[in-house]
Structure 1
Amino acid sequence: MTMLTTTRLPLIRHGGPDDLFAWHDGRPVTVRGYLAAVRDLARRLPEGGFVLNLCADRLGFAVGLGAALLRRQVSLLPPNDTPATLRQLEDSYPGLVCLTDAGAGYPGMTCIEALPQGGLDRLSAAVSPFDGDLAFPADQVAAIAFTSGSTGRPMPQVKSWGTLVRSVHGAGTALGIAGLGAAGLVGTVPHQHMYGLESVALLAMQHGLVLHANRPLFPADIAACLGDFPGRRILVTTPVHLQALLADGTALPPLDLILCATAPLAPQLAIDAEARLGAPLHEIYGCSETGQVAVRRTSATAEWLCIDGIRLRQDEQGSWASGDFLDGETLLADVIELKSDTRFILHGRSADQVNIAGKRSSLAFLNHHLNSVEGVRDGVFFMPNEGGSGTTRLAALVVAPGLTAETLLARLRERIDPVFLPRPLRFVDALPRNPTGKLPREALLRMLATPQRD
């Protein structure tokens, strides 16, 4: 990392105190109101090193992030809020304080509501003069994000303020965000996840966008949130949410940009989305360890372009990412074909490569063909735990109410080598996706082990 300790980077990059910062509970929130709420919460936070930001309200989350930075406290961003996860975090970070939405609470934990009682209007009127120069050292630790971890225990990923800001600036430049002005931004992904943190909360804060405080999931709710903005609009989503949105057929207000991440996006889905929604769709590639790495317009090219400051190299271990704002190098968990140190083609995760009877394929390839079968609403291949015989067999879970196993297997035989046909093939009502649309392996194994009802 090349940034000096003396480098300070602003909390937000809006033009002035009366610019819109967010849309919250049917009302606009100005930059003045947001900064007043940040300082109010900073005064209410007790001494300590860590805050557990569990706010579902995006405005409350952004206020909590700013207040923690102001108090030089670190925001913990958990993968979920299950009792087991919260106990593990309490054990690892004694004395942490939990930031919540109004009325929310977690038994046994010290909780503080992020937004002030009485509303932001009271604070805005009371704060004078306006101070819009809130900035923090680039090397200040801003957040610790967590991956689920192979052991089931959350694995910490420490992020400095400079790393986060530079990453978001690089992505914004690659996506042409500056040309959209003060566009309204709606996201369907949780902001405690790195994708949501960078591409929803921080993208808005660092590019002068207007952040919608809601996190809609259903098509009608997405349309309603987008409709709250009169001007330009950005939708940040996932392939799963995008597919559901297109299948539903709900009409959306005009869009100017669609961002997508968390899972491979089929080119045909990207083409359909652009045609139906009337806006360019860009994918973001990254991981919790590095944050955002590269972008591409999926309908136009298979190549990814690294964001400004990121470079790749390869050796016998795999592909490594480094950058001006990253600490050292990170080994990426994907099979990558390098075209240059800033351009590449992604061939799927290294762990997704399968070898059965001497034949090779990838789970991404197999999932593409499974989900391309007419009548399949959702489906996934995965490698179950090996049985006592040691024979490698793929399993699949599929949502396809109108198909039989015989019909589906026959259609798959037309698309993939028979050695990769799933055994077993289980029909289910829905796949166990998490809030970002991913499918945790443990959840797939539990579903596969559950006896199937007649």
Structure 2
Amino acid sequence: MASLPLITHPSADSIIAWRDGEPVTAAQFLADVERLRGLLPAGGHMLNACGDRYRFMVGLCAALLSDKISLLPSTQTPEMIRQMLAYAPDVFCLTDAADCAIALPQVRFPEGGARPEPTAFAVPSISVEQIVAQVFTSGSTGTPIPHRKTWGALVRNVQAEAQLWGLNDGRRHAVIGTVPPQHMYGFESTVLVVMQSGSAMVAARSFYPADIVHALQAVPRPRTLVSTPVHLRALLAAGLDLPAADLVVSATAPLSVGLAVELEAAFDAPLLEIYGSTETGQIAVRHTARTQEWQLFPGVRFRQDGDMTIAHGGHVEQPTEMQDVIELVGEDRFLLHGRRADMLNIAGKRNSLAYLNLQLTAIPGVADGAFFMPDEHDIDGVTRLAAFVVAPGLTAAAVLRALRDRIDPVFLPRPLHFVDALPRNATGKLPREALHALLRSLVAQADESRS
């Protein structure tokens, strides 16, 4: 049976991670994996809740070498944990938090004491058919839907990614991430791509602008920053002196051309956007400052069946229906027009929430913003397109005036809500249920003020 190596670092002293400014070698990493492997219980499923990216990687590999499947749910809410327990009754939680509240049997990542000394450098190989993880999406009934990820498919995916990023140039790239490793994007682009390109991850998650700047300054070049539009926009707005990077990567939401150009100038580095889904993994890339066309990963192709676009080939193990409106412009190139569920039809005119959000956040002075189409029962039985905006120093009239220059008047938000912050999750996304809750809260406050 075919197998592939756990890591591709060529020697024992190859750097695989940076923790608190100190390098961790590939030999020390393998010793840490073996140490943790001996502490794992008998259960066949593990929820890896480690916040430290290096510890997450150690936990992932310890589970992999113990034939345990890592469960990667979209959230770690009590309800999701109950669903995980129903799916896999033998699941346990690996954590590095002193006060982890996850209601599962817990294994603490070992801290303190003498770390094991590296032995002879021998990299394990893993069967290409071994299941590494089950990644979950939310089903229409609310029951999480698992998506199996095998070692062979994951390796093919991230090795293609490493090639497209230019990580295979013989240098030791440092990869800094603002997204958690439990999310599919962070899993692929800050953990697996490091393991399969000989690169080095930065263990700490950099969330705030000052954290990102510090993380970049703390490691040698070449440096790759893996982030999201929300984090990158906040980083520019902070007005900090940005260290040079060699590559910036963005995903989870569309990035405007203007923001991409600004970021390339600020970092003196190219910016690439990644497109994909939980079901398929990443499947396309574009250089946003230069083109709106997406380039499919090697071997991946689209075919269209009516209004549906289906991904197949390459590392995509089974044909998968995409949830976006896609226009093919070549065998391996396409344009993206937003999610099918986000398409709007008002007064006979069509638009997408993604496009409207780009126009809103492109207004000078708008720090963050999002349009939202509620269900009919949310506002007095009438469906009205609403928007939330974080724009200190701007008035509603100023925002609406700027929007009139950018979008058709039928899509102007009614109402426009000013808020201090949007309820984004750890990857910068805005869950629909969170926007529902925010809208209801604002409507209730307005009702109270009138009574």
Shared fold (TM-score, shorter chain, > 0.5): yes
Task: Compute the displacement of 1:104 (Å).
Answer: 4.4
Which amino acid is the alignment partner of residue 39 of structure 1?
A: E
Task: Compute the displacement of 1:116 (Å).
Answer: 5.1
Which amino acid is the alignment partner of residue 388 of structure 2?
A: L
Question: 2: CA distance between counterparts of 1:142 and 1:313?
Answer: 28
- 1:271 corresponds, among 261, 280, 300, to 261
Name which of structure 1's ranges 416-425 and 185-194 shifts more when overlaid on structure 2. 416-425
Name which of structure 1's ranges 183-192 and 311-320 shifts more when overlaid on structure 2. 311-320
Q: Deviations over 1:72-97 (max 9, x none)?
A: 11001122222222222112211212
User: Runs of 5+ in structure 1 lacking a partner?
Assistant: 1-5
Task: Compute the displacement of 1:43 (Å).
Answer: 1.6
Task: Compute the displacement of 1:227 (Å).
Answer: 1.6
Q: Please tell me whether the aligned partners of residues 163 and 326 of structure 1 are also in contact (alpha carbons under 8 angstroms).
A: yes
Task: Compute the displacement of 1:369 (Å).
Answer: 1.8
Aligned length: 444
- 1:322 corresponds, among 292, 295, 312, to 312
Helix, strand or coil for the counterpart of 1:328? strand
Pair 128,414 (structure 1): closer, same or farther in 2 beyond 3 Å: closer
Name which of structure 1's ranges 296-305 and 141-150 shifts more when overlaid on structure 2. 141-150
Do structure 1's residue 381 and structure 2's residue 371 form an aligned pair?
yes
Question: 2: CA distance between counterparts of 1:36 and 1:415?
Answer: 56
Q: Please tell me whether the aligned partners of residues 37 and 115 of structure 1 are also in contact (alpha carbons under 8 angstroms).
A: no
Identical aligned residues as a percent: 51
Task: Compute the displacement of 1:155 (Å).
Answer: 2.6
Q: Deviations over 1:341-376 (max 9, x none)?
A: 311111111111100111111112211222222322
Aligned pairs for 1:356-367 within 5 A: 356-367=346-357
Question: 2: CA distance between counterparts of 1:364 and 1:180?
Answer: 38
Pair 180,442 (structure 1): closer, same or farther in 2 beyond 3 Å: farther
Task: Compute the displacement of 1:421 (Å).
Answer: 1.2
Aligned pairs for 1:133-212 within 5 A: 134-179=124-169, 181-212=171-202
Structure 2 partner of 1:424: 415
Q: Deviations over 1:221-280 (max 9, x none)?
A: 111111221231110000000000011122232211111000000011000000111110
Which amino acid is the alignment partner of residue 234 of structure 2?
A: A
Q: Please tell me whether the aligned partners of residues 60 and 115 of structure 1 are also in contact (alpha carbons under 8 angstroms).
A: no
Structure 1 partner of 2:206: 216
Structure 1 partner of 2:240: 250
Helix, strand or coil for the counterpart of 1:44? coil
Q: Please tell me whether the aligned partners of residues 373 and 386 of structure 2 are also in contact (alpha carbons under 8 angstroms).
A: yes
Question: 2: CA distance between counterparts of 1:92 and 1:30?
Answer: 37
Task: Compute the displacement of 1:179 (Å).
Answer: 2.4
Do structure 1's residue 43 and structure 2's residue 35 form an aligned pair?
no
Task: Compute the displacement of 1:389 (Å).
Answer: 8.3
Do structure 1's residue 14 and structure 2's residue 9 form an aligned pair?
yes
Which amino acid is the alignment partner of residue 252 of structure 1?
A: L
TM-score normalized by structure 1?
Answer: 0.94
Q: Please tell me whether the aligned partners of residues 11 and 121 of structure 2 are also in contact (alpha carbons under 8 angstroms).
A: no
Pair 128,410 (structure 1): closer, same or farther in 2 beyond 3 Å: closer
TM-score normalized by structure 2?
Answer: 0.94
Q: Deviations over 1:373-422 (max 9, x none)?
A: 23222111111111498754211111122222233223322322221111
Structure 2 partner of 1:350: 340
Structure 2 partner of 1:439: 430
Structure 1 partner of 2:282: 292
Task: Compute the displacement of 1:115 (Å).
Answer: 4.2
- 1:230 corresponds, among 220, 223, 226, to 220
Question: 1: CA distance between counterparts of 2:408 and 2:381?
Answer: 21
Do structure 1's residue 410 and structure 2's residue 401 form an aligned pair?
yes
Do structure 1's residue 81 and structure 2's residue 76 form an aligned pair?
yes
Q: Please tell me whether the aligned partners of residues 40 and 116 of structure 1 are also in contact (alpha carbons under 8 angstroms).
A: no
Helix, strand or coil for the counterpart of 2:17? strand
Q: Please tell me whether the aligned partners of residues 313 and 341 of structure 1 are also in contact (alpha carbons under 8 angstroms).
A: no
Pair 389,216 (structure 1): closer, same or farther in 2 beyond 3 Å: closer
- 1:58 corresponds, among 53, 76, 83, to 53
Structure 2 partner of 1:3: none
Pair 149,430 (structure 1): closer, same or farther in 2 beyond 3 Å: farther
Structure 1 partner of 2:294: 304
Q: Deviations over 1:415-436 (max 9, x none)?
A: 2222111112211111111110
Aligned pairs for 1:114-125 within 5 A: 114-115=109-110, 117-119=112-114, 122-123=115-116, 125=117
Structure 2 partner of 1:401: 392
Helix, strand or coil for the counterpart of 1:80? coil
Name which of structure 1's ranges 249-258 and 434-443 shifts more when overlaid on structure 2. 249-258
Question: 1: CA distance between counterparts of 2:353 and 2:196?
Answer: 36
Question: 1: CA distance between counterparts of 2:297 and 2:315?
Answer: 12
Q: Please tell me whether the aligned partners of residues 98 and 111 of structure 1 are also in contact (alpha carbons under 8 angstroms).
A: yes
- 1:282 corresponds, among 272, 276, 283, to 272
Structure 1 partner of 2:439: 448
Pair 44,246 (structure 1): closer, same or farther in 2 beyond 3 Å: same
Structure 2 partner of 1:240: 230
Q: Please tell me whether the aligned partners of residues 23 and 211 of structure 1 are also in contact (alpha carbons under 8 angstroms).
A: yes
Question: 1: CA distance between counterparts of 2:172 and 2:142?
Answer: 41
Q: Please tell me whether the aligned partners of residues 356 and 392 of structure 1 are also in contact (alpha carbons under 8 angstroms).
A: no
Name which of structure 1's ranges 380-389 and 330-339 shifts more when overlaid on structure 2. 380-389
Question: 2: CA distance between counterparts of 1:338 and 1:130?
Answer: 47
Task: Compute the displacement of 1:307 (Å).
Answer: 0.9
Question: 2: CA distance between counterparts of 1:416 and 1:214?
Answer: 40
Pair 21,104 (structure 1): closer, same or farther in 2 beyond 3 Å: farther
